[in-house]
Amino acid sequence: MTVGAFHATLTVATLLCSLVAGLLFAFAVVVMPGIRALDDDAFLRAFQEMDGVIQRNQPLFVLVWAGSVPLVIAAAGLGVASAAGPARWVMIAAAAIYLVGVQLPTIAVNIPLNNQLQALDVASLSADERRVARLRFEPRWNRWNVARTVLAVVATVLLLLTRSF
């Protein structure tokens, strides 16, 4: 592969990772703080609706989120093959941080929490059951989302820096 193929792949991977970082950031600083003020019933329903858009495979979301993974892997592979010196190591670090720090927690923590919440029939729950459901979901989901946000931003910055070496 050529350096040109590496740069093209790196550009698209950086774009997609930055969009993922932006989505996570928006949830961390706007969406979740915004729905935090809702009562338990409204909070659970609001999150179910937002997550439902994703679970119904919204095409642009799928393109960006799922597309970022193979493109980061491809950029890392091409970077190992064609980049030299620090660029190679920065690219590998960016890919590792993105895959392990963003995608792995998404699969291991956030998606299972989302699925548990989606399985609830909120209307049939008592007020106490809604409160417990929210407390089992919200704090853990938010902690992991903040971690994913920080690591997605770090990975994006590293991807951007890869070109400067």
13 vs 8, 73, 104, 116, CA distance in Å? 9, 9, 17, 31
Residue 114 one-letter amino acid: N
pLDDT of 1 higher than 60: no
- pLDDT average, residue stretch 13-25: 98
CA 72 to chain centre: 13
> Which residue matches tokens 């400067």?
164
74-114 tens-digit pLDDT: 999 999 888 788 989 999 999 999 999 999 999 999 999 99
Identify the CA nearest to 67 among candidates 8, 26, 13, 10: 13
Q: Is the pTM of this model over 0.75?
A: yes
Q: In this structure, are residues 95 and 76 in contact, taking their beta carbons and an 8 Å threshold?
A: yes
